[in-house]
């Protein structure tokens, strides 16, 4: 069974909670997806509105593991402070560590990521690093104390799927025992199925469900695709080949003549 830092989960879908049409649809989508881990963030709160308090109640009702993120942080210091605040706020040592390098691609700053991961792991955090498919960075992250890797499929919110399946395969082969979560860029259930078929352990996505015309139905679609992809991986997917290979027996072909 898949586990993250000793916590076992049945579901291989980690779900973001942002951009849903309403809190009610968010709750229904999480339930339909059967996700057991949801991501959340921390943001400035206006004292007069205190809208975070209602969101906290809603998340508690879902009875799922909470994975806070450091979304938007651009420096090691910002990410570390945000993680410390998240640990107190959400009462969990889990942190989805994001240190962002570029506003347009939202790609991780791998140097800052490794540095922040090292500081946080030493301080008792259980770090889920949002990284690229870079093998060298992955090695550094594990050496820094991470026990999960979360390479991007494509830039956050881009819905492009798996930009570099070759590199994801390499990561899978190189780290057979590290939970590998494709985080970001998943646009369709087929992208998620592909990640699971390749042997990735799980996917983390938000926009593809939240921005669907019917998020609850899309959550169900992703749950099905992820389950199918995992079963296919366990069953053993055929390697592609260049030439055709008849599936119907050749022996006994009618009207067959040796030329």
Partner 1 sequence: MNIRLNGEPAQTAAQTLHELLEGLGYDEDARIATAVNGDFVPASRRAECKLNGNDEIEILAPRQGG
DSSP string, 45-84: --TTT-HHHHHHHHHHHH--EEEEB-TT--SHHHHHHHHH
Tokens of 246: 């008849």
Q: Rounded to an integer, what distance in angstroms lies between the CA atom of residue 22 and that of residue 20? A: 5
Q: What would the x/- binding string for partner 1 be over residues 181 to 220, using CB under 8 A? A: -------------------------xx-------------
Q: Do residues 125 and 158 make contact, with C-beta atoms less than 8 angstroms apart?
A: no
Q: Which stretch binds partner 1 (CB under 8 A): 10-18, 141-149, 163-171, 218-226?
A: 10-18
16, 108, 161, 215: which one contacts partner 1 (CB under 8 A)?
16
For 104, counting Cβ atoms within 10 Å of its Cβ (0-12 exposed, 13-18 middle, 19+ buried), the class is exposed
The DSSP code sequence of 11-34 is --EEEE--S-S-HHHHHHHHHHHT
According to CB under 8 A, which one of 22, 53, 245, 247 is a site residue for partner 1?
A: 53
Would you say 53 or 245 has its CB closer to partner 1? Answer: 53
Q: What angle do CA 194, 196, 202 make, to 5 degrees?
A: 130
Among 69, 95, 181, 193, binds partner 1 (CB under 8 A): 69
88 binds partner 1 (CB under 8 A): yes
Among 2, 11, 55, 175, binds partner 1 (CB under 8 A): 55
Catalytic residues: 96
Per rule CB under 8 A, is residue 43 in the interface with partner 1?
Answer: yes
Nearer to partner 1, 56 or 175 (CB): 56
Q: Which residue ranges make up the site for partner 1 (CB under 8 A)? A: 16-20, 26, 39-48, 50-53, 55-56, 59, 68-69, 71, 77-78, 81-82, 84-86, 88-90, 156-157, 206-207
């Amino acid at each position: 069974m898949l586990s993250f830092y000793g916590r076992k989960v049945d579901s291989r879908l980690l779900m973001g909670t942002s951009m849903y049409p309403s809190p009610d649809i968010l709750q229904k989508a999480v339930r339909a997806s059967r996700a057991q881990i949801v991501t959340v963030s921390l943001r400035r709160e206006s004292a007069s509105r205190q809208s975070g308090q209602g969101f906290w109640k809603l998340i508690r009702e879902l009875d799922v593991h909470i994975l806070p993120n450091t979304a938007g942080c651009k420096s090691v210091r910002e990410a570390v402070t945000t993680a410390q605040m998240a640990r107190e706020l959400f009462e969990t040592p889990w942190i989805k560590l994001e240190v962002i390098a570029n506003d347009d691609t939202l790609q991780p700053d791998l140097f800052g990521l490794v540095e922040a991961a090292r500081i946080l792991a030493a301080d008792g955090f259980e770090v889920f690093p949002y990284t690229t498919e870079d093998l060298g960075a992955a090695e550094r992250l594990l050496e820094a104390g991470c026990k999960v890797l979360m390479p991007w499929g494509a830039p956050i919110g881009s819905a492009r799927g798996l930009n570099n399946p070759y590199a994801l395969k390499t990561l899978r082969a190189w780290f057979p025992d590290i939970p590998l979560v494709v985080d970001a860029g998943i646009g369709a259930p087929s992208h998620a199925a592909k990640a699971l078929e390749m042997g990735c352990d799980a996917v983390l996505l938000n926009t593809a469900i939240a921005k669907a015309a019917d998020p609850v139905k899309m959550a169900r679609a992703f749950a099905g695709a992820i389950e199918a992809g995992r079963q296919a991986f366990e069953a053993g997917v055929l390697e592609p080949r260049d030439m055709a290979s008849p599936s119907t027996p050749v022996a006994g072909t009618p009207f067959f003549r040796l030329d």
